[in-house]
């Protein structure tokens, strides 16, 4: 039992980690980023090459990859997405436009990865050592990823709730139309939130590359996982991300251990659909809109 719970928590932490960036990008910057998973895989490749090519510890690699991703995402928003935000008259229109645009972006990033690395699988070993936690053996790399997910989540949460800029960001998330009335620079904050999301997805990509096998074409899996966690937790809500991620992780581990590993993904989706039926706006979402 402890084992299943621990595995579930660690897995859930990973899901939450994957989803945190998207909840910022989608919840605040209003960009439904279908290329999200491609950015994750891109950082995984970056980490792979830093590690295998120059023997750079992935945790050190974070220091390089995360800021790069922040800048790239910021520019991306400023150059490519701002025109869409400007021309969109309604939120629905922006949703459609951002789906279309980031779908194209997804192809581009994937195409670049494919030309650079081909379609083969990649994997490397880092911190793949056993650690014993409450009498149960877990993989160090997964544990580190979990710990960092918790740290990132907490820092982000504090930033959002305790600082002025964080409060402004939340204001944009709640009501982008009224935020300018209280002198909030919505375009600037949206760009920041999108970039912060990019930084988060990069860190997720680096951490995940330590223990998952990936290829240039596996991004979409992560995009969908992230979307599910985000929607299930309530869009733009970090706490929701964490809770939804944990729920999915725990259910997956418990079902695999006690019912049937063959049903894990089905149960995940059933849980997701069930939550949405009971609370259409997600666990922490505000009802109606």
Token couple for 11: 């897995």
- Residue that has been written with the tokens 């719970």 in this structure: 5
261 near other proteins, judged by CB under 8 A: yes
Q: Considering only residues 104, 155, 185, 188, which one is a binding residue for other proteins as defined by CB under 8 A?
A: 104
Q: Considering only residues 9, 13, 14, 28, which one is a binding residue for other proteins as defined by CB under 8 A?
A: 14
Asked if 109 contacts 42 with a C-beta cutoff of 8 angstroms, the reply is yes
Q: Which window, 43-51, 153-161, 176-184, 279-287, contacts other proteins (CB under 8 A)?
A: 279-287
Which among 12, 65, 41 has a CA at the least distance from the CA of 222?
41
Which stretches of 163-282 are DSSP H helices?
164-174, 186-209, 219-233, 238-254, 264-278
Q: With respect to other proteins, which residue has the nearer C-beta, 95 or 184?
A: 95
In the region spanning residues 32 to 91, those forming contacts with other proteins, defined by CB under 8 A, are 32, 80, 83-84, 87
Token couple for 279: 């609370």
Question: Contacts with other proteins: how many residues (CB under 8 A)?
Answer: 81
In the region spanning residues 241 to 260, those forming contacts with other proteins, defined by CB under 8 A, are 252-253, 256-257, 260
CA distance 273 to 230: 13
Asked if 18 contacts 180 with a C-beta cutoff of 8 angstroms, the reply is no
In the region spanning residues 194 to 223, those forming contacts with other proteins, defined by CB under 8 A, are 211-217, 220-221
147 near other proteins, judged by CB under 8 A: no
108 near other proteins, judged by CB under 8 A: yes
Q: At its nearest, how many Å lie between other proteins and the CB of residue 235?
A: 7
Q: With respect to other proteins, which residue has the nearer C-beta, 185 or 213?
A: 213
* Residue 260, SS3 per DSSP: coil
Q: Which window, 61-69, 95-103, 174-182, 188-196, contacts other proteins (CB under 8 A)?
A: 95-103
Q: At its nearest, how many Å lie between other proteins and the CB of residue 255?
A: 9
Q: At its nearest, how many Å lie between other proteins and the CB of residue 264?
A: 6
Which among 76, 78, 75, 70 has a CA at the least distance from the CA of 102?
76
Q: At residue 150, what are phi and psi to the nearest 5 degrees?
A: -65, -45
Q: At its nearest, how many Å lie between other proteins and the CB of residue 23?
A: 12
Asked if 98 contacts 32 with a C-beta cutoff of 8 angstroms, the reply is yes
Length of the chain: 289
CA distance 284 to 172: 17
Q: Which window, 42-50, 131-139, 181-189, 238-246, contacts other proteins (CB under 8 A)?
A: 131-139
């Amino acid at each position: 039992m402890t084992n299943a719970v621990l595995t579930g928590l660690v897995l859930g932490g990973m899901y939450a980690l994957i989803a945190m960036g998207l909840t910022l990008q989608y919840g605040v910057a209003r960009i439904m980023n279908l290329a999200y998973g491609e950015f994750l895989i891109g950082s995984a490749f970056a980490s792979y090459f830093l590690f295998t090519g120059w023997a750079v510890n992935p945790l050190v690699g974070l220091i390089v990859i995360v800021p790069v991703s922040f800048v790239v995402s910021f520019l991306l928003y400023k150059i490519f997405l701002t025109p869409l935000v400007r021309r969109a008259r309604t939120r629905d229109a922006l949703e459609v436009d951002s789906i279309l645009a980031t779908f194209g972006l997804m192809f581009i990033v994937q195409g670049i990865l494919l030309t650079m690395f081909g379609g083969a699988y990649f994997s490397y070993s880092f911190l793949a050592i056993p650690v014993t936690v409450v009498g149960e053996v877990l993989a160090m790399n997964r544990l580190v990823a979990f710990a960092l997910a918790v740290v990132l989540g907490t820092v982000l949460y504090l930033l959002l709730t305790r600082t002025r800029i964080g409060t402004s960001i939340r204001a944009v998330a709640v009501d982008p139309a009224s935020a300018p009335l209280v002198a909030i620079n919505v375009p600037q904050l949206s760009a920041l939130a999108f970039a912060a999301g990019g930084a988060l997805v990069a860190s997720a990509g680096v951490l995940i590359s330590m223990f998952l096998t990936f290829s240039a074409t596996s991004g979409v899996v992560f995009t969908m996982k992230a979307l599910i966690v985000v929607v299930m937790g309530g869009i733009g809500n970090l706490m929701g991300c964490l809770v939804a991620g944990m729920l999915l992780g725990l259910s997956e581990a418990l079902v695999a251990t006690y019912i049937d590993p063959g049903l894990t993904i089905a149960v995940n989706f059933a849980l997701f659909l069930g939550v949405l039926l009971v609370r259409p706006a997600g666990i922490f979402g505000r009802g109606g809109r």
